[in-house]
Structure 1
Amino acid sequence: MNCPDCVYSNPEGVRYCLNCGKNFKLGGNTDPDPDSLFYEFASYVDAMPKQLRSVEPKFQNIFSRVFRKHSTLEADRLFIVGTAITTPKIEEVKETWPKPWLFARVFLIALLAFLGMHIGVTVFHNFNFLPGLIIIGAFAVPITTLMFFWEMNAPQNIAFYRVIYVVLIGGILSMLVALVFFNLVKNNINPITIGIVEEVAKVMTVIWFVRNHKYRYMLNGLLVGAAVGAGFAAFETAGYALRSLLTGGSFEHLYTTILWRSVLAPGGHVAWAALTGGAFCKAQGDQKFDFSLLVKPYFLFVFLLVVAMHALWDTPIKGMSPFGHIFLMVSSWVVVFLMIRRGLKEIANKKWRIAYEPTQPTQP
């Protein structure tokens, strides 16, 4: 059954398009019933052969929906998830690899806004556009990367307004915590201490947001960590951009700073904070927060790996920029995809336990 609106190929017998929510029975677009959509989707997944719903990564398919045509309703449906009435039960969550696409649209919108600000400054020489140019230039790529993590959050249990809250509050909070630590080690600042201080500041902030039981999945930790890292990266880039303009004395320095930091942003603070967030949620599971979680082998390994990457990033080795940074960025994303794969398997195992493990008899 091909949907007439989005051309998505649906299995026979469904009442709603699993992609855009079109009601086949009524023959028109209506506000989709979340319960019905989740039921249809869960039934579809259960009917699929196991080999078709493997959580093994198929990189040629992950971005297959980026260049397809998408309706406004599809985007609207993405933004309504995460509330008390639109969060699916874990039994209804698919454990296959999501196919994100909205992040690419967000990047295009940010790029258009940045070009508009650029025209205002360079063509019309109106410096009222300058703050907007710096802010949009600093936030464009970190927010785009964050949107990717949001779309990959298969449990769909974090509302978008909450993500923005974490970006703003988590970003500034982690920077302030880092400044406190930098004041303590101000006589011994080097690439290693920079990596330790900034990653400790970010992971402390991430733990503060995910310490309750609502965000207990690895994919939740990846998303919350990416939100903190996006805020940290964007605020830091805005500061460096303004400093380059004031010290360099030309817009060329400003644009160069924004360009290079934007190109490398996905593999820096966003990915690193996402990794430590996912590792902490893996360590915590369904437990209450306890400091002993910080020395669990998996979390400790990922945290030390992130600190090492950060220290290498800041090490003034010849050839480190840009080739070394690109290598570190690719390495970070290899680990990110491995953690996403593990997070999807976590959901699959959780669904299996709910479906097949016998319930404990109640005591008389």
Structure 2
Amino acid sequence: MASEDVDYYALLGIESTATSGEIRKAYRQKSLKVHPDRNPDDPQAAALFHELSIAVDVLSDPSKRSTFDSLLAARNARKARFAALDNKRKAMAEELERSERESKRAREGERSKKMDVERLKEEGRRLREERARQAQGAEEGRRKVREEEERRRVEEQRANGRTNGAPAEVVELGPLDKTLKVKWLKSAHPSLVDDASVTAFLERTLAPANPDIDSVVLSSKTLANPSKGKHGSGILAFKTLSAAVRVVKGKEADPEGRWKGFEVGWAAGQPPAALGAQAAPSPPPPRQSASPPASAVPSFSFAPASTDEDSILARLRLKEREKLMDEMRRQDEADEGAAQ
């Protein structure tokens, strides 16, 4: 018998239900076409003719044909199983490819979402910076307006003094007249650890009034060890003298005890001379009611300083602050020694 891989029915071109006559007829037709004598140039003709001879011999014998049919059925069943496995493997491969495509789309979506979040964060940061710049510009504009109003008021006071025949009293502000020294118990105010927290404390305590702080300088020990030591201390410079007076008077009044454990004093060691200098009163015009009572801060006027005077005052203010910082450092060391 030939190789088990040969399907004799297919080789003869007949169905598996063919009769003996149909088998012999198919053999005669096929063998005549592939006979080696008729195909001398075909090297496969002899092998094919031999296979046809085996096929007719097997299929013409009922016993051999029955064995071959069983073998052919087993072979076809095996092919069917392999085809099913191939289909299953193909389905698994397709499912794997689909899963990979979905996973890739999910990763791309997550990446796109992260990029959108980062873009939104960047836009938010730019908006915050722009608002901060606008707020800073607005504050600078308000400061200039206040300075211009104060300068105009001073000029008006001086002009009124000359018009009424009595010169207005002119008092120049010293380099530290708008500067205060502060000191606080850390146990009473544990949150005061830096410039921002001190500024926030004044804003809360003086609300709704604006403290108008120009700068805050804390002692080096307060900044280095905010949780150690008994006291914290610093220097507060204000934009106007009235703002500094507002802090002093707020500390003196303190009906609710919000300033408890917080000490305030003038950086120069005494109130500015400008607070004791009243502007020269002008005679009231006839048939007018008396002027309203003066505000809590006495009225006074300032001599406008030239550019050179501003430069000198800036240098004096810097030197005075350095002296105050040295004084605070010595006081911190004394407090620390006393605590030990």
**TM-score strictly above 0.5:** no
Could you say which structure has the larger radius of gyration? Answer: 2
Shorter-chain TM-score: which interval?
under 0.3
The TM-score normalised by the length of structure 1 is 0.21
**Higher strand fraction: Structure 1 or Structure 2?**
2
